[in-house]
Structure 1
């Protein structure tokens, strides 16, 4: 038995080998594991037929899962840029990740790096794990200097984003709001399709989104919405 009451090494090896072959399905969650840690684990469990001479040797025991090599310094969820699948990290489905954590735990102070499977392609659809999320800058219409940055999946909807913004800025559920795209030219475009995804809406990295609250008298600070024509920012 491995330390911490982990399953027999043969069981670990066969379970993870099987789960690595899992097909990608839209909406499923997969987890990143640092390749360095995973290679050490493979040695320990004798994963490869040609590399079994250290199997079970405590000198190669991998210890808690350590993803620090994938992360920017001081940020538990921000990945380093230009990471490459299988070279820098491997991807495991939820069941595989849960098994590894139950056997080895996760390094103290770290959080799981969970990512969704999204569908890509205009005509020929294919699934891939969305490793790098889209960073959006969020603010209120009344105070656009107070910008909060959050990361979202391309599969997240406008409704999901709006709920997150309401939470950030403590906007009551009963308060009527509108969401706007703000462009560099101070042009504003309404985001009025709540079921539309980030991908559908064409939102890009660093896009500024502005939430506007309805006035008590029933008017809107930005005036009437004109979906087909961007609004110029009022002075």
Structure 2
């Protein structure tokens, strides 16, 4: 044993087969909203599974379930040595770890009772939350902007950012805000909340969770919370602007501890108390700094007021100067009268010249009208041509819905035709009659698990680094799909990756020889009607006649356990297309 027995173990440890029989079924439990799961490092979990016989001592570590990953983030050893039980449990935060196994609460309580915690590790408890379209472990707590609703009209109102779980009860959140703003216990309060851009909602039921009341479906939403304090006569007058006018009181009790603190040990609570003390000291210092800022602002305003008084004296002096200049302007007015008389004479001469210019302008206006008529004709022809081009562009950019083995994918027709000689370029070349399902999609009888990688390659024209799992088995599976869809650049890229792994890329059935093909590594820019220079490439796909079985013609070698043929069928089971 390289690790000593963990602290706080409270239960006698049974034999390894008994441990396995009790704990292993719990690992397959699905996520249920409201449950709690706990984080354990993969090293410790691997040591325990080896100890109880779930994994062989020489076997490779399987991919983890849910929170488990292939690599560990902390590199700490949790193994107990040669064949013995592991030491205290190693834990890690879900949002900071790349090697973590999540276990349900009853499994955690049992393991914790047997092994306890390793020194320096803490209980990492996570809530299961329903995000609307899926139920998952909550990785991050949302930041809430909290304030007093009675002071919202003040631009300099005090605000704080506090993180809460979406599964947290309103009773604890309201208690925490009351403590932040030092609200006395005898004073009644109620809580309001809103999402960005929405109206305030009453959060008067302290037993409900904040995520359900505000309909939060993401870890990155930053809601606002306003605590309303009642007046001395118990009348609610400080509700936020545009909030519902109601005198209803909040119901339910306050909760001093959050849903994650009920299992905390005494040493953990001491840490939280120290953090709270540091926070209160920080707030006091912030108040002191704010008061100093206000004093400096008042001094600055006094200086500005003195500056304004000096400006008023300068303004009076300028008014006297303006009066003297007005006298000079009157003298200049007399002189301007004489100049005006001369100007009137010039106007008479100008009128004569204007008549000549008007005649010339009329001639030019006729010429301009003629040119304008010609321009309007050309403009109409151009708009007609632009309209035809716009219609052609919309046809080219039309969306296509594909049903790949039951999974729906929607993309642009132009994306599917980027690879000129691929499966989809021939499918949508217009030379084949195709039928769609009832929902307008084209059904392709292939595994849809890897199709998103095929589609991303057609969109980007390349495989971006870090977008695919680094796994040879995955490369072989994706290669089969790429060969089926005849994506030459992706096939060549995957073959290079498999060669780098130093293992055979895939198996070939007895009596079957591998095909010899030459592929490029980028999506070609040639149209689907061209043929690649210097060689002949004639893939064949199945043809199905109405009411008959499909006539299948192989276009590539079969691989063990997978079909190398595709069929396209509608809801009526009628014919699809074939490309030769």
- 1:129-168 alignment to 2 at 5 Å? 129-140=137-148, 144-145=157-158, 147=160, 149-152=162-165, 154-168=166-180
Aligned-pair distance for 1:97?
0.4
Corresponding position: 1:226 with 2:242:
yes
Give the greater-gyration-radius structure (CA): 2
The answer (yes or no) to whether the contact 1:32–1:92 under 8 Å persists in 2 is yes
1:41 to 1, 25, 48: 48
- 1:131-210 alignment to 2 at 5 Å? 131-140=139-148, 144-145=157-158, 147=160, 149-152=162-165, 154-181=166-193, 189-193=199-203, 194=205, 195=208, 197-203=210-216, 205-210=221-226
SS at match of 1:131: coil
Aligned-pair distance for 1:179?
2.9
SS at match of 2:107: helix
Which protein is richer in strand relative to its size?
1
The answer (yes or no) to whether the contact 2:50–2:57 under 8 Å persists in 1 is no
Corresponding position: 1:13 with 2:37:
no
The answer (yes or no) to whether the contact 2:229–2:238 under 8 Å persists in 1 is no
Corresponding position: 1:89 with 2:100:
yes
The answer (yes or no) to whether the contact 2:231–2:237 under 8 Å persists in 1 is yes
The answer (yes or no) to whether the contact 2:144–2:225 under 8 Å persists in 1 is yes
Partners of 1:150 and 1:104 in 2: CA distance: 32
The answer (yes or no) to whether the contact 1:138–1:150 under 8 Å persists in 2 is no
Seen in structure 2, the aligned counterparts of structure 1 residues 172 and 51 have a Cα distance that, compared at 3 Å, is: farther
Counterpart for residue 117 of structure 1: 128
Partners of 2:109 and 2:240 in 1: CA distance: 50
* Runs (5+) with no aligned partner, structure 2: 60-78, 246-580
The answer (yes or no) to whether the contact 1:144–1:210 under 8 Å persists in 2 is no
Aligned-pair distance for 1:40?
2.2
Aligned-pair distance for 1:169?
4.0
Cα deviation code 1:50-77 (max 9, x no counterpart) = 748xx9854764311111xx34xxxxxx
The answer (yes or no) to whether the contact 2:33–2:128 under 8 Å persists in 1 is yes
Superposed CA RMSD in Å reads 3.8
Seen in structure 2, the aligned counterparts of structure 1 residues 62 and 151 have a Cα distance that, compared at 3 Å, is: farther
Cα deviation code 1:20-73 (max 9, x no counterpart) = 122333322221212222112222333225748xx9854764311111xx34xx
Seen in structure 2, the aligned counterparts of structure 1 residues 165 and 10 have a Cα distance that, compared at 3 Å, is: same
SS at match of 2:129: strand
Cα deviation code 1:158-214 (max 9, x no counterpart) = 444223323444434542324344788xx8953304346424414554434232322
- Name the TM-score, length of structure 1 as normaliser: 0.66
Deviates more, 1:137-146 or 1:90-99: 137-146
Say how many residue pairs are matched. Answer: 207
Partners of 2:135 and 2:23 in 1: CA distance: 21
Counterpart for residue 22 of structure 1: 29
Seen in structure 2, the aligned counterparts of structure 1 residues 226 and 137 have a Cα distance that, compared at 3 Å, is: closer
Corresponding position: 1:100 with 2:111:
yes
SS at match of 1:101: helix
Aligned-pair distance for 1:114?
1.5
Partners of 1:145 and 1:32 in 2: CA distance: 36
2:227 to 173, 198, 211: 211
SS at match of 2:135: strand
Cα deviation code 1:89-148 (max 9, x no counterpart) = 2221111101111121112343321222223325xxx53332333233434455854625
- Name the TM-score, length of structure 2 as normaliser: 0.31
The answer (yes or no) to whether the contact 1:40–1:60 under 8 Å persists in 2 is no
Counterpart for residue 90 of structure 2: 66
* Runs (5+) with no aligned partner, structure 1: 72-78, 230-235
Counterpart for residue 76 of structure 1: none
Partners of 2:209 and 2:36 in 1: CA distance: 20
The answer (yes or no) to whether the contact 1:31–1:113 under 8 Å persists in 2 is yes
Partners of 2:213 and 2:195 in 1: CA distance: 17
Seen in structure 2, the aligned counterparts of structure 1 residues 135 and 227 have a Cα distance that, compared at 3 Å, is: same
